[in-house]
């Protein structure tokens, strides 16, 4: 892999190949391949069939001699098939259309016989490409290992967008080869981040003596195999190797990229020791909590009263004690006296909590309560109530229900940390996530929210707030059900796009100006306790350029569970997802 490796980066974007423009008949293919590999290129994009071939009854494909020209490993590892450019599946001429369909199927069959990993399809010849979509979808149904890579101009005409999106049908057997003459806007380019882009083709560039690529006005075709192309490879490798190493947090999260996980249900289930340990390593989160607690202690007790006043602080959901430690460190930092109640329902975590208190000598400062906060009867009222019940969407781990239940033992003028939290969503293109969910072949997985480290996605519009909860709750007996309708405007320069679902985030105000969150615009740096949440759509929504997206979100509450429902109503309606919590819920 000549582009080199960055520390900890396991991404796939390291290969550089050469496109062969002319049909390499006979023994030419081994020579061309050998020349390219010896020049440090990784593969050839080569025609498999003579471009002059047209199907006739009984004809044999004039391929490059035979499959014996190269060994099986060479075919599968170093050759990507290039389907003939003359093929026009939507031609008005019926004979050309039929010949195109026959030839395409023959070439794909030959590529499968050779065990190629992929073939590159020519782009549709016109904006109306329904037959192109039909034929490609038909071929895809018969493929197992061979992928089809579809050449698509980076800037397409608007009428072609919808037909193209139907052609790919979101199959994980389809990739894209992008071709360009001029670089489009960043928004237009960005929409491809969520698609399975395999190759980015080049315009004809020159490499200056200073190592800078410069573009000519027109493409030329006579340099495709002569390794005057080596300077391109050298320069790409130079850029790649100059990239900064991935930070430690990114290296830690690589294996979680675009990996769908079910959100935790800490109220219904007891967390395991490994989960606690992972969260406890997030020092940034607990530093923010310590800052918030310190500010609250100073506001609660004046400097004149520090020697005579003891603040009662309750940690509800104490786990193995990180918030207890943060609270006592804040008290030491501010010189305030503190009495701590550590309330935890998980009996296994309570064992570790007892060990921590004994080890640190905090027996006179901390009282451990092994109980569900909703059932415990506090012996006294708290000045400060501290919790870390937030989920990726803020309220999705039932922080509102838990804190409403615990609010009864907070003094009327008491402080809750956090004091509020707001959820946010944004529409995204996420082809990989969609295909991973689609592989389950049921509706339930499309009606489930997932925690995921988003990577191969395109963010299509700025985030908007969804639900906000305040603590102490000014109306503790009010319902925590919520409903909102949001309208997202896609930037005009983005063009048309596909929406596969909505990414969700939260931002929490711990106390006054101390906040914590993962909303992209205000995210707390270097914090890894939460990945975003993803609300998928059963069928991706095609959004034409300049067309807004209208989405509805509900937070629903029952006697034993809380769940979300969501639906798109514009530009085209979707079903209401997760009706009555039939597929996904959080247990009370």
286 known ligand binder: yes
What is the chain's alpha carbon radius of gyration, rounded to the nearest angstrom? Answer: 30
Residues 286/326, Cβ–Cβ less than 8 Å: yes
| Residue 250: both structure tokens together | 């990114």
Q: Check if the beta carbon of residue 501 is closer than 8 Å to that of residue 543.
A: no
Residue 577, SS3 per DSSP? strand
Q: Is 337 annotated as a binding residue?
A: no
Quick check: 188 and 154 in contact, CB under 8 A?
yes
- Cβ burial of 415 (10 Å; 0-12, 13-18, 19+) is buried
Q: Extract the runs of DSSP E, i.e. beta strands, from 403-496.
A: 410-417, 420-429, 450-451, 458-459, 464-470, 482-488
Closest CA to 417 of 566, 282, 236, 294: 294
pLDDT of residue 232: 81
pTM value is 0.83
**Which residues, other chains included, contact 481 with Cβ-Cβ below 8 Å and sequence gap of 6+?**
554, 555, 556, 557
pLDDT tens over the chain, length 588 residues: 445 554 445 455 578 888 888 776 556 888 888 888 888 889 999 888 888 888 876 666 555 457 888 999 999 999 999 999 999 999 999 999 999 999 999 999 999 999 999 999 999 988 889 999 999 999 999 898 899 998 877 665 544 444 444 444 445 555 655 555 556 676 776 766 777 766 666 554 444 433 343 444 343 344 444 466 888 888 888 888 888 887 777 877 888 999 999 888 888 889 999 999 999 999 999 999 999 999 999 999 999 999 999 999 999 999 999 999 999 999 999 999 999 999 999 999 999 999 999 999 999 999 999 999 988 999 999 999 999 999 999 999 999 999 998 999 999 999 999 999 999 999 999 999 999 999 999 999 999 999 999 999 999 999 999 999 999 998 878 899 999 999 999 998 888 999 999 999 999 999 999 999 999 999 999 999 999 999 999 999 999 989 999 999 999 999 999 999 999 999 999 999 999 999 999 998
**Among the options 107, 397, 447, 565, which is catalytic?**
397
Tens-digit pLDDT profile for residues 270-307: 999 999 999 999 999 999 999 999 999 999 999 999 99
CB count within 10 Å of CB 293 equals 31
> Is residue 397 flagged as an active site residue?
yes
Catalytic residue among 388, 426, 447, 565: 388
Q: Does 344 appear as a known binding residue?
A: yes
- 569 and 379 Cβ atoms separated by less than 8 Å: no
Integer Cα distance of 29 and 14 in angstroms: 24
Residue 447 falls in the annotated catalytic set: no
User: Residue 205 has what pLDDT?
Assistant: 45
End-to-end CA distance of the chain: 51
Q: What's the residue count for the chain?
A: 588
Name the 3-class secondary structure at 239: helix
Per-residue pLDDT at 578: 98
Report all structural domains of the chain as residue ranges with CATH numbers, in order of start. Answer: 17-246 (3.20.20.150), 273-388 (3.40.50.150), 420-587 (2.70.160.11)
- Please check if 505 is assigned to a binding site: no
276 annotated binding-site participant: yes
Euclidean distance between CA atoms 539 and 498, whole angstroms? 10
Distance CA 475, CA 483 (A): 17
Cα–Cα dist 404/316, whole Å = 12
Distance CA 151, CA 176 (A): 6
pLDDT score for 265: 84
Eight-state DSSP code of residue 237: H
Query: What is the 3 state secondary structure string of 327-338?
Result: HHHHHHHHCCEE
CA 306 – CA 316 distance, rounded (Å): 25
Alpha carbons 486 and 554: distance in angstroms, whole number: 12
H-type helices in 114-229, by residue range? 130-141, 158-168, 186-190
Structure tokens at 266: 């800490």
List b or e across 372-407, with b for residues whose CB sees 16 or more CB atoms inside 10 angstroms: bbbebebeeebbbbbbbbbbbbbbbbbbbbbbbbbb
pLDDT tens string 206-264: 444 333 434 443 433 444 444 668 888 888 888 888 888 877 778 778 889 999 998 88
């Amino acid at each position: 892999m000549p582009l080199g490796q960055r520390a900890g980066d396991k991404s796939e974007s390291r290969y550089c190949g050469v496109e062969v423009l002319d049909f390499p008949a006979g023994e030419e293919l081994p020579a061309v391949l050998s020349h390219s590999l010896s020049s440090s290129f990784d593969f050839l994009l080569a025609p498999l069939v003579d471009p002059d071939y047209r199907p006739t009854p009984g004809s044999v494909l004039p391929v490059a001699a035979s499959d014996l020209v190269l060994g099986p490993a060479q075919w599968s590892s170093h050759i990507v098939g290039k389907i003939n450019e003359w093929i026009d599946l939507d031609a008005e001429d019926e004979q050309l259309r039929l010949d195109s369909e026959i030839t395409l199927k023959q070439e794909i069959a030959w590529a499968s016989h050779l065990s190629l990993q992929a073939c590159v399809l020519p782009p549709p010849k016109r904006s109306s490409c329904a037959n192109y979509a039909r034929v490609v979808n038909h071929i895809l149904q018969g493929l197992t290992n061979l992928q089809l890579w579809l050449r698509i101009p980076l800037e397409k005409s608007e009428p072609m967008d919808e037909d193209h999106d139907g052609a790919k049908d979101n199959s994980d057997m389809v990739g894209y080869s992008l071709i360009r003459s001029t670089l489009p806007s960043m928004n237009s380019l960005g929409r491809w981040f969520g698609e399975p882009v395999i190759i980015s083709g080049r315009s004809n560039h020159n490499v200056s003596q200073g190592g800078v690529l410069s573009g000519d006005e027109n493409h030329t075709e006579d340099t495709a195999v002569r390794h005057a192309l080596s300077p391109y490879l050298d320069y790409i490798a130079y850029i790649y190797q100059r990239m900064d190493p991935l930070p430690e947090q990114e290296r830690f999260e690589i294996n979680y990229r675009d990996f769908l996980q079910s959100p935790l249900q800490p109220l219904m289930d007891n967390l395991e020791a490994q989960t606690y340990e992972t969260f406890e390593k997030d020092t940034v989160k607990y530093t923010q909590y310590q800052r918030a607690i310190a500010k609250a202690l100073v506001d609660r007790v004046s400097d004149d009263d520090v020697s005579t006043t003891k603040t009662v602080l309750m940690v509800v959901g104490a786990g193995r004690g990180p918030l207890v430690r943060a609270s006592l460190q804040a008290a030491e930092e501010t010189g305030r006296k503190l009495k701590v109640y550590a309330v935890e329902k998980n009996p296994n975590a309570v064992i570790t909590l007892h060990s921590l208190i004994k080890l640190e000598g905090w027996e006179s400062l901390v009282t451990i309560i092994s109980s569900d906060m909703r059932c415990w009867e506090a012996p006294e009222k708290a000045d400060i109530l501290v919790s870390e019940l937030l989920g990726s969407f803020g309220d999705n781990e039932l922080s509102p229900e838990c804190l409403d239940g615990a609010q009864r033992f907070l003094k009327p003028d008491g402080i809750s940390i956090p004091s509020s939290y707001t959820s946010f969503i944004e529409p995204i293109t996420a082809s990989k996530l969609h295909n991973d969910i689609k592989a389950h072949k049921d509706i339930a997985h499309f009606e489930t929210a997932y925690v995921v480290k988003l990577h191969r996605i395109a963010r299509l519009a700025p985030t908007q707030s969804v639900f906000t909860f305040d603590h102490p709750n000014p109306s503790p007996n009010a319902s925590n059900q919520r409903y909102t309708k949001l309208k997202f405007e896609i930037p005009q320069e983005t063009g048309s796009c596909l929406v596969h679902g909505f990414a969700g985030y939260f931002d929490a105000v711990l106390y006054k100006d101390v906040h914590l969150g993962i909303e992209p615009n205000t995210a707390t740096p270097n914090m890894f306790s939460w990945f975003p949440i993803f609300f998928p759509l059963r069928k991706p929504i095609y959004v034409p350029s300049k067309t807004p997206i209208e989405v509805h979100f509900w937070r629903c509450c029952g006697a034993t569970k809380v769940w979300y429902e969501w639906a798109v109503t514009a530009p085209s309606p979707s079903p209401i997802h997760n009706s009555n919590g039939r597929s996904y819920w959080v247990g009370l």
